[in-house]
Amino acid sequence: MKIIVIGSGRLGSKLAYGLYRKGHNVAVVDRVAAAFNNLPPDFRGHTLEAEVLNEDVLRRAGIAEADGLAAVTNSDTINAVVAHVANTIFHVPHVVARNYDPRFLSMHEAFGLQVVSSSSWGAQRIEELLSHPFVRTIFSAGNGEVEIYEFMVPETWNGLPLKQLLPESGCVAVALTRAGQAMLPSPETHLETGDVMQLSATLEGIQSMRKRLSNE
């Protein structure tokens, strides 16, 4: 795939190098030449020092033929504009924008962009680890609105049906692993002590589930 990374800061350089190592054709654009020093010495992708909001610069980076573009500068405005241009003018199939400041997340959403908000997700994840260490997040969709969580079934739940334990809304059982064998549980599945349960849940759903677990 041909992929353009806008911004060669810590995140952009890490992303670009990872894509390059996987065999993708990567172009990195940044208006500051020193930013390319963040790229490892063995990076062999294309680098372009130029103003990223210039349409001619994007064309020189290969946006007309690009399969994907990631706008990951530390400016939410630049990320939103470049991603919007990639979407609407050049019709790049896969476009992702970084949200740097959570206060500007609504701007990205107004453009209908795929957004990664590391600050919002990171704060939520750290809060979970500090306050609910016995339920861990193993996958996060979007900006953490829905996540997949994993926990071990406590002894007090042994023999109880799953439907009796799940909250009424905001929480769905994804998988259950017992003695190393995974299964798709039904509401009638009876749990056993030591089962490993994966749940897909909203924030409200997992809060309700955590409350039940903490009572145990």
Q: Are residues 20 and 77 in the same domain?
A: yes
- What pLDDT was estimated at residue 133? 58
Counting Cα atoms < 13 Å in the Cβ hemisphere of 74 gives 8
Express each pLDDT in 158-202 by its tens digit. Answer: 999 999 988 889 999 999 999 889 999 999 999 999 899 999 999
User: Do residues 95 and 130 both lie within one domain?
Assistant: no
In terms of domains, do 7 and 109 share one? yes
What's the CA angle centered on 110, arms 105 and 113, to 5 degrees? 75
CA distances to 25, 37, 100, 196, 200 from 176, rounded to whole Å, are: 40, 46, 36, 6, 12
Task: From 58, 92, 116, give the residue that closes a domain.
Answer: 116
pLDDT at residue 132, rounded to an integer = 59
CA atoms of 152 and 195, how far apart (whole Å): 6
Domain check: are 23 and 126 in the same one? no
In total, how many domains does the chain have? 2
Same domain, 154 and 111: no
Residue 115 tokens read as 């957004």
What pLDDT is recorded for position 125? 66
Q: What is the pTM of this model?
A: 0.67
Domain that holds residue 39: 2-116
- Average pLDDT of the residues of the chain: 90
Do 8 and 110 have their domain in common? Answer: yes
pLDDT at 88 over 80: yes
In degrees, to the nearest 5, what angle opens at C-alpha 67 toward C-alphas 62 and 69? 75
The last residue of a domain, from among 97, 116, 135 = 116
Same domain, 101 and 126: no
**Looking at residue 187, which CATH number applies to its domain?**
3.30.70.1450
Q: Identify whether residues 106 and 176 lie together within a single domain.
A: no
d(CA 66, CA 94): 9
**Strand, coil or helix: 14:** helix
CATH number of the domain encompassing residue 16: 3.40.50.720
Structure tokens at 190: 């009876």
Q: Mean pLDDT highest for which of 6-20, 126-140, 145-159?
A: 6-20
Torsion sign, CA atoms 138, 144, 147, 152: positive
Rg for the chain (alpha carbons), in Å? 22
Report the percentage of the chain scoring pLDDT > 70: 96
For residue 28, what are its two tokens?
A: 């990195």
Co-location of 128 and 55 in the same domain: no
User: What span, in angstroms and rounded, lies between the C-alpha atoms of 182 and 27?
Assistant: 41
Tokens 């001619």 correspond to 56
8 and 84 share one domain: yes
Residues 83 and 148 in one domain: no
Please say which residue of 116, 143, 166 terminates a domain.
116
Same domain assignment for residues 130 and 211: yes
User: Using CA atoms, how far apart are residues 66 and 62, in angstroms rounded to an integer?
Assistant: 6
Decide if pLDDT at 114 tops 90. no
pLDDT at 213: 81
Query: Which of 90, 86, 72 lies closest to 9, judged by CA?
Result: 72
Q: Indicate the helix (H) or strand (E) that contains 111.
A: none
Q: Give pLDDT, residue 129.
A: 60
